[in-house]
Every structure is written in C-alpha cells, then in structure tokens.
Chain A
Amino acid sequence: MAPISGPDTTQRSYLWQDGTVRSWLLTTDHKRIALLYMASITAFFVLGSVGAALIRLHLISPTGAILSDATYSRMFTMHGIVMVWLFLVPSIPVTLGNFLVPLMLGAKDLAFPRLNLISWYLFIMAGALVVYGLFRGGLETGWTFYTPLSTDYTQGRVLPVVAGVFLSGFSSIATGVNFIISIHQLRAPGLTWYRLPLMLWALYATSVIFVLATPVLSITLLLLAFEHFFHVGVFDPALGGDPLLFQHLFWFYSHPAVYIMILPGMGVVSEVVSTFCHKPVFGYRFVAWSSISIAAIGFLVWGHHMFVAGTSLYAAVVFSMLSFLVSVPSAIKVFNWLGTMHGGAIRLDAPMLYAMGFIGLFTVGGLTGLFLASLASDVHLTQTYFVVAHFHYIMVGGMVSAYFAGLHYWWPKITGRMYPEMWGRTAAALLFFGFNLTFFPQFILGYEGMPRRYATYPAQFQVLNVLSSAGASILALAYILPLIYFTWSLFRGAPATDNPWQATGLEWRTSSPPPVENFITPPVVTHEAYDYAALDHPDTAQRAEAPHV
C-alpha cells in the first residue's frame, strides 16, 4: 500500500475536487462535514468567549464594573449555554471525530453519510434558535434551567433557547448512532477491536452517552417547555409537583454529558502521547476499557450534584461512593499516559505540549472533584467558585487543550499544510500559563467562601479576582493566536507529507489531504495498534509476520 503523493493529488483531494458553495452545503463527505462543523463551532466558541470576557471584566470591581445585575445573570447564562451545548459537547466528536472515524477504520465514509449531513443542519438550526433567544432578551436561569425559576419566575426567552438545546440533542444522537454503527460495521479487514486506535474506543464510549443520555435531556426539556408555556405541569409545586424531579432528570443527562466533554479529549491525548513518544500506549486494554467503564459508571453518579438538595443521607453516601469509583478509570488513564512517557524520547512539538497540559490540568480538575464528591467538604464548597474552578480545569484546561492538541496534530492531514511550529509551541505554553492564572485563584476564592453567579462580591476577594481576570486576557491571546496562524498556514504553510509525525494510524497511510474516497486502495490491517517497529522497519516486520499469514 504505497501512500499516494505527488503534485497532482491536491487536485483530487476532498478539498478541491468541487469548489462550489453548493457542493459544500450538500456534501455527504464526512471530511467536508467535519469542516462545516469546525467553522460553526468556532463561531460559537468566539461568542461564548465574548461572554466570558465580559464576565471577567465585570468582576474586576467588587461592585461590578460594567454590567447591571440582571445583565450579569444573562451573561453567565449565555456563556454557559453556548459553551456547553454549542461548543464543548459537539467539539471533538463532530470535527476531529467526523473527519477521523472513517479514516481510522479504513472506510470510505461513516455508516450513514446523509444522516451526518442532516445532523449538521439540525445543529445549525439549534444554534440559530439559541442565539435568537439569547439576543432577544436572553434568560437568567444559568445553563442548568432549574425549575421553577425557568418555568414560572424567569422573564427571559426560555422557549427558543430550550427548543434550540432540544434540537441540538438530536444532532448529537445522530452523530452517536453514526459512530457506533460505523465502528461495528465498517472496520477494514484485519482491524479487530483490540487493534483500534484508542481514539475510537473513546469516541465509541462518548457515542454510547450521546445515544442513551441525550434522550433523557430531550424529554426533560419537553416537560419544561410544556410547563413554561402553560404555567402548569409536572414539576409545578403549586400542584404538589416536585421541582427536584427536574434536577434528577437533568443531571441524569448532564453528568454523563460531562464525560461527553472529556472522553474524546482523552482519546486525542492517547494518540498524541503515543506518537510523540514513538511507543505503544502502555496498557492498551486498560485504557480502552477505562473509556467504556467511565461511560458506564458515569450514568450512576448524578446525585452528587444534589447533595444539598434534600437528598437522603443513604442516597448521598451511595452517590458519593460511586463518584469516587468513577475516578478510578480516569486515574488509570493518567497513569498509563505517564507510563507511556516514562523513559521515552519525548518530542515536544505543539500537539505534545497541549497533551501534557491536558494531563496536568485534568489531574487537578479530577482531584478537586474528589473534594466535591466527599459529603462533608461538598457542603462547604458547593455553589462557590471552587466548583467553577473545578469544572473549568476539566472542561477548558482538559478538553479545550485536547481539542487544540488534536487540531495541531491532524492539521497537516486535514489541510495538507503544516502550521508554524514555533507559534504552536508559544500558544500551547501561553494557554497553560493563562489558564492556571485564570482559574487557580478561583479555587482559593471558593474555598474562602465566594459564591458563584453573583454580580458583586465582598472587597476582600478583589485581588484574586483581578488576578483571574488578568489570566483571562492571556488565555484569550492563547486562543486568538492559533486562529491567526492556522489561517495563515492555509495559504503559506509548508506542504505536509503524508505522515509528518511518524505515526501509526491508518489515517497517516493516505495522502495529506486525503482523496475523496479516503484511500486509493482499501487498506488491510496486519499489525497491532501503535506498532512502531513495523513502521520503522517494514521489511523485518514483514518477515516476522510471514508465518502467521
């Protein structure tokens, strides 16, 4: 299977094969749909970041610098909703996942190419509804939409926003179904389950959550919309209904959803760490199954969001124990990445710097999660900035770093161009530094008792808040830089070779960028995953393998 390259491949690549706008908007090519998604979620990321910037600017002063109290509430709601539902939940799966799943499987496309396109249109409609609602007044419920605030007391635009989030759920379900069925049905000859790259195990686990948790959110939002519209419904305390039921249903989805927002990142990091250490991932099967067990146990811990909501002591103890349990597979992954790096000759290119940032920040986020899963300390820490810092360490420090690691790593494959390495490393370092400066002070603030979601705070908290805002401006720079040099590289970047990182996945065996049909000759897999020996010495490996054939 000689990789195809040469000057004429750019003509046949998926990027240039048909340049009309129409051919992009009606494409069923998973690679193009990935790019459509990438453009859309980038726009939402910018919108959410503007919200974050305004929040941080406001909190420079204890009395609030720029926004009215009501606007402040609407601003953090906007930020949370856009970042969670329109950026982070779809992020890696719909962009890198869409692009890579068929390539890693050695397939021509996903199992249901048209469904894939439909899912993008659903997502765009969802985004339009949410943005419409947010700009025609917004709402002040926070991204969690708790009843009865969201049903009877809010003056905001609940219906369009909820309808948008509801629709985006269907786009997630479509993606999940597509990935799971593709991984079952479209593996290349010889590609057994234990030869799959760990990215695919992670996306499989993510997809299980997409398919089985999202519908619970859908029905919950439907019940909420009914109640908001008719001012009577199943969570209505006036009828004896129970608003806590909403919280149960909401977190039954949203806790698994936080794993939607980390598992794909773990998949990316497994690929990147292996490649840049030029070693197979230590304990492949443990890493693979830890993804599945995170998804499974993740369904059983939602109660840890409700420790102070009148949960019975026994239920709370069980949820606390299960929450500790779910940290075990996460820890396994961290140890296995470190085991892979141990004693290796590590190349510190930008993707690896981002991945190492991920490992550190995710570990801090995970460990502070244990503080919150402990009943006694949670009572003190819940609803404070400690929680805000905790989930940002995971979602932003972890997942967004992983997204950037993946973008840099696969950028040559996606676009056929190299990004400028020096700038990539600079941005990765800035991100790590800016992130810690933004969010570490929030741990202290929370520990000292500063509650979240308030527009003002006591003056003694000002120093730490200003530090946090200063960090946010560095973080902003670290996000803007890649936007600039990625765009630059599209036109001026050095042309990429087919396998610039000496990596093992099937995606590196086709040209950069790949042809429309992904592989000129359909690949056959004869090696385990991450078999660098076979990559470095194809002849010896071939001979060693001969007896088995």
Chain B
Amino acid sequence: MSEHPEPYDSPQHRDETAIAGMWLFLASEILLFGGLFLIFVVYSHSHAAGWALGVRHTSLVIGGINTVLLLTSSMVYILGVEAARNGNARGIIQAGLGAAALGMTFLCLKGWEWHTEFGEHLFPGPGFAIGGPQAGGAQLFYSFYFLSTALHGLHMLVGIGLIAWVCLRTYRGRGRLLQVMPVEVVGLYWSFVDLVWILLFPVLYLIGRV
C-alpha cells in the first residue's frame, strides 16, 4: 500500500489527535445507547406493572457478580495504563490479560444466564412464560433486556479484541519505544463499556424489583 504522508506534526500531536477521536466516538456511542434508554424510560412508566414483573424474573445474583467482575476489570486495566506511562511493557500485558479474562468471565456468566432464561421461556413470543394481564409489559421488558444485553455483549467482545490487540502489539514491540496512546485509547473504550453496564444493571435488575 502506498502510504500517504501522515498529517501530524509530531508523535505527541498524533497521540492527542487519536485520543480526541476516541472521545468523539464515545459521544456517538452515548447516543446509540441513549435511544435504547428512551425505550426504558417510556415503557417502565406506561407499562409499570408488567415491566416490574419482568425485572423480578431476572437473576440478581448473576447480575451482581457480573457488575463486580466488570468494575474490577476496568480497575485492572487502569493498572495497565499506569504501567504504560511508566514504560513497563510487562505490566501492560499482565493487566491487559487480567482485564480480558475478567471480561470473558462476565460474558460466560451472561451466556449462562441467557441459556437459563431461554429454558424458562422468557424470550418474548408465543409460549412466553409470564401470563396474565401484565404479559404484554413483561414481554416488552424482555425485548429490551435481550437487545440491550446483546448490544452490550457485542461491545464487550470488541473491547476484549482491542485489549488483546494492545497486548499483542506490546509483546511484539518489546525493546522498542513503548507507545502509551493505544493503551489509553483502548482504556477509554473499555471504561465506556463498563459505564454502560453500570447504567444497565439497575435498569435490568433493580428498579421495580421490590
């Protein structure tokens, strides 16, 4: 590929630019999830009873454990960013692998949760488990539940991929000058994925439970 000349003045200028780009992309992501949260705001009011019935069927234990896992994962990743700033390549790889492993555990638990929910016929459609006058609201909740967790899970997968990429390029680049920027950019994204879950957790598991 004929590389076109780079538009930056200096490596520092390039790094600043990349980080600004990530922030702007995250602003875009906020509106992606914002549209989803509008669904929650509207239906948890207009179908309060059915919606709450749905919330009560979710597994608070798995949701809770997952929240702890993800928060820890973000924290571990921050150690990697610190390591990068101190020029410690091993630290980046260790923290990255740790954060990714916690993320994978989250996804496995989430998958298992989905599996049991499918078994209990909580996926909306004919044969839906919850009957009675509130069935409609509960199905709306579960439509929202499956979509939002799927979308968040997809973001997790992308994030884990990015972390793996950071680890790999750090490993390959041993001995050369360490680049902090990619570690930070991926860190921004990973924290965002965490933040989305922090909003999703109360919405899916807590509000309306009691």
Contact = CB atoms under 8 A, between A and B. Distances in A.
A110 B14 CA distance: 12
26 contacts: A18-B2, A26-B2, A102-B7, A108-B4, A109-B6, A111-B7, A176-B28, A185-B16, A211-B27, A211-B28, A212-B27, A212-B28, A213-B31, A216-B35, A219-B151, A220-B35, A223-B39, A230-B124, A232-B124, A233-B124, A234-B39, A239-B135, A239-B139, A240-B140, A245-B39, A248-B38
Given A28-B1, A184-B20, A212-B28, A232 B139 contact: yes
A180 B34 CA distance: 22
A30 B28 CA distance: 23
When A and B form their complex, which 6 residue pairs have the shortest distance between CB atoms, in order from nearest?
Answer: A215-B32, A219-B35, A240-B136, A239-B136, A109-B7, A215-B31
Interface residues of B, number: 43
B125 interface: yes
A108 B139 contact: no
A181 interface: yes
B80 interface: no
Q: Which of A26, A27, A238, A240 has the most CB of B within 10 A?
A: A240
B43 interface: yes
Contacts of B144: 234
B28 A214 contact: yes
A240 B137 contact: yes
Contacts of B125: 230-232
B7 to A, nearest CB: 4
A173 interface: yes
Given A185-B17, A233-B124, A234-B144, A245 B136 contact: no
A35 interface: no
A457 B139 CA distance: 43
A20 to B, nearest CB: 9
A115 B25 CA distance: 12
Interface string B12-46: 01001110110011011111111110110011001
A248 B47 CA distance: 18
Contacts of A176: 28
B5 interface: yes
Nearest to B50: A240
Interface in B114-156: 124-125, 135-137, 139-140, 143-144, 147, 151
Contacts of A184: 20
A525 interface: no
By secondary structure, the A interface counts as helix
A240 B43 CA distance: 9
A521 B50 CA distance: 68
A74 to B, nearest CB: 28
Contacts of A230: 124-125
B32 A218 contact: yes
Interface of B: 1-7, 13, 16-18, 20-21, 24-25, 27-36, 38-39, 42-43, 46-47, 50, 124-125, 135-137, 139-140, 143-144, 147, 151
B52 to A, nearest CB: 14
A109 B27 contact: no
Contacts of A227: 143
B28 A222 contact: no
Contacts of A252: 35
Nearest to A110: B7
Nearest to A213: B31
Contacts of A231: 125
Given A107-B7, A219-B33, A226-B147, A234 B13 contact: no
Nearest to A230: B125
A245 to B, nearest CB: 6
Given A113-B7, A173-B28, A215 B143 contact: no
B2 A215 contact: no
A358 to B, nearest CB: 30
B147 A28 contact: no
A11 to B, nearest CB: 15
B143 A226 contact: yes
Contact of B32 (A30, A186, A219, A248): A219
Contact of B42 (A181, A245, A516, A517): A245
A167 to B, nearest CB: 14
Contacts of A517: 5
Contacts of B29: 215
Interface string A94-108: 000000001000011
Nearest to B144: A234
A311 B36 CA distance: 21
A227 B143 CA distance: 9
A241 interface: yes
Contacts of A245: 38-39, 42
A29 interface: yes
A249 interface: yes
A23 interface: yes
B151 A222 contact: yes
Given A181-B20, A181-B21, A234 B28 contact: no
Contacts of B16: 185
Nearest to B33: A219
Contacts of A240: 46-47, 50, 136-137, 140
B28 A177 contact: yes
Contacts of A108: 4-7
B24 A242 contact: no
Contact of B143 (A30, A110, A234): A234
Contacts of A30: 4
B151 to A, nearest CB: 7
A215 B20 contact: no
Nearest to A211: B28
B140 A234 contact: yes
Given A211-B27, A240-B47, A241-B140, 20 more contacts: A23-B2, A27-B4, A108-B5, A109-B5, A111-B7, A112-B18, A180-B24, A181-B21, A214-B28, A215-B29, A215-B35, A216-B34, A216-B35, A219-B35, A222-B151, A223-B147, A232-B124, A233-B143, A245-B38, A517-B5
